[in-house]
Structures are given as structure tokens and as C-alpha cells.
Amino acid sequence: MAGTIRKRGNNSYFLEYMYEGERYSKTIKASSPSEASRKLALFVAEIEKGNYRKSSGLTFTELCQLFLDKYGKDNLSETTYKNYKNMLNNHILDDIGTIKINKLKRLQIQEFANKLLNEYNLSSKTIKNHIKVISAILNKGIEWDLIDYNVADKVSIPKNTEKQKKKVVLYSYEELDGFIKSLEKLENKELQVAIYTSLYTGARRGEVMALTFNDINFNKCSIDLNKAKINIPNGTKIKDIKTGKNRLFYVPNSYINIVKEYYKYLGKPSKDTALFTMNPDTFSKSFKQFLKDNNLREINLKDLRALNESILVNKGLDVVSVAKRLGHLPSTATNYYLDQIPEEDKKASAILEDLF
């Protein structure tokens, strides 16, 4: 008979089989040698049909390290990679890291999700993100033939009813008027133009920081958002924009005039020169300081994006056009790069022109 059987103790047998140069082994319970022989035959059949998977002795921590080394470094963005590591190190590995992946149970993942709520008071969204990280890593374990199924795929996310999402209170038109007047007096030209750009375009912080003069068409009053500046260890990096789809749209002539003056102020540099040299975090901190220095109500830099959106919608621009302009997903309007700026987008430019 193919394979070998060795008795290990009362009703315990060790099965072993060599197949295509690889050794397979398994300990079974059997009441007699004949029963052990039948189980050996089934064991051999499973192996030869490709239905038997070796038991993995890896802990979840070891699988995570494999995931980061063999997959994460080459396939995740720097930001996502960093977020994965933070979630693993801050909560996940302390709780389930030492468990063997072939022994990990769905109930343990559910208990972990509940713990994130009850002990750490995390929001439901943050808990969901932690479970998604666990699930992504286990899915790779399945692809690599280390485990058979994903025990994190049907975990219920507990709702944190006490931790409500912070409501953004945008500037009123009266507050916005005071904001603009203070901005007009700002002596730091780089910060001034960066804030104008965020307000006029509704672009994300990284998209604003990555702009070059080549991206702004002075004649057509248009702007092309096609990249983003992100923080990485010891510096910054230019990468594709968040949605992976470039956005080309009109901007008011008043904004173009601001950029023209800034271009002259910088000594008319080459068109591939970046408008801004700031680190994205520096932009956020400087914006906060600008508000404080001018006794303006504190908002976050990203709230300028929401403010731009609110102005356009309240002034009558349809939601789909606004979503397309700001790069929101999901939206069929962002499926293709705009070679020609749609006529409808001119309304957005006109609204902002009238406002300022």
C-alpha cells in the first residue's frame, strides 16, 4: 500500500505519504489497524487529487509579516501600507497575533471587533477598517495555500451609537466674506495662493500641493488635476490622484489672475515648476495658524472642499456635475478623462466668479 502507518498510542496513528517529491503527514484517531489503513487510503486519495492542504503552523503575526514583505511593499500605496502597519501594531497583533492561522476562528474575530468597541471606543468605521485589514491578509493566506477559508468575511461590525460622526459646520456667507478679506491681506504669498486654490477648486490637499504651472491654462481658464503630493518617511512623493482619474475643469478668471500675479512674483519660472514647495502637513498647520491670526472660526483645511461643494449645489449646479468636478466616487462622470471640458462645467466657474 502507498504510504506508511505508525502507531503512536492508544487509538492514535501517524500517517505519512510521499507524493511528487513532497512529504505529507497526519495524525489520526482509529480503533484498529484496519481502520487506520482505510483512513490512510483516503488520505492518499485526497493528496493525489489535490484536495489536501498541509496544516499551516504560521501564527497570524507571521502571516502578517509575509503579507507586508511579499505583497504590501510592492502593491500597496505608502499611505495604505502605513495604515495597515499602524492598525496591526496598535490593536490587531496584540489580540490575535499569537494564534495559529489554521486555528483562528470566526468567533475570535467577532470578539476582537466587539473589543474595539467596548474597550477602545472606536467608531464603527474604524472597527470596520480593522476587520478589512484582517480579511485582506487572510485572503492572501488562501491564495498562498496556507489556509482554506477566511474567518473574517462574515464578522458583524458593532455600532458605536455614542461616538457620532463629527458634524462639519461650514462658513456662512457672512463668515466667508470675512475669510476672503483676511485672505486678501495675507503676506505669505505661497500660503495665500494655496488657500485660494483649495477654495476655488475644491481639490484635495495633496492635489493642490502637486500642481505645476503646466497644469493651469491661463488662456482657457482651466485647471488639470492629475497628481497628488503625499508624505512619506523623510520627505514627500508625487503619485497618481486618489481616484486614478484626471480631472480637467474651468476655474474663474479671478483665480487665473491670482495665479498670474503669483507667477510673476516667483520670477516667471519654467512651466514645469511646482506652484507650492510646502509639505502637505505644513499647509494644514499654516492654514490653522492663518485662521487663528485673523480671529476666524476654526475649520479644517479639507472643509474648504466641502464648502466649495456646498456653494455650487446651493447655487443650483446639479450634484452629478459637482461630484465630477470634485472627483467623488462612485460616479459615472469620473469614468473617463475629460479631453473636452463639458459646457455644464462653465456654470461652476461662473458661480464662483460671482461669489468672489
State which residues of the chain have pLDDT below 50.
330-341
DSSP β-bridge partners for residue 98: none
Determine the pLDDT at residue 335. Answer: 37
Determine the pLDDT at residue 56. Answer: 65
Determine the pLDDT at residue 243. Answer: 57
On whether the pTM is more than 0.85, the answer is no
Determine the pLDDT at residue 53. Answer: 66
Determine the pLDDT at residue 98. Answer: 95
Determine the pLDDT at residue 201. Answer: 86
* Mode of pairing for the β-strands spanning 228-232 and 247-250: unpaired
Determine the pLDDT at residue 48. Answer: 86
Determine the pLDDT at residue 339. Answer: 37
Determine the pLDDT at residue 322. Answer: 54
Determine the pLDDT at residue 323. Answer: 60
Do 200 and 252 touch, CB atoms closer than 8 A?
Answer: yes
- The 3-state DSSP composition of the chain as helix, strand, coil percent (nearest 5) reads 50, 15, 35
Do 255 and 200 touch, CB atoms closer than 8 A?
Answer: yes
Give the angle subtended at the CA of 331 by the CAs of 326 and 332, to the nearest 5°.
120
For cell 461616538, what's the residue? Answer: 163
Do 210 and 274 touch, CB atoms closer than 8 A?
Answer: yes
DSSP string, 133-162: HHHHHHHHHHHTTS-SS-TTTTPPPPP-SS
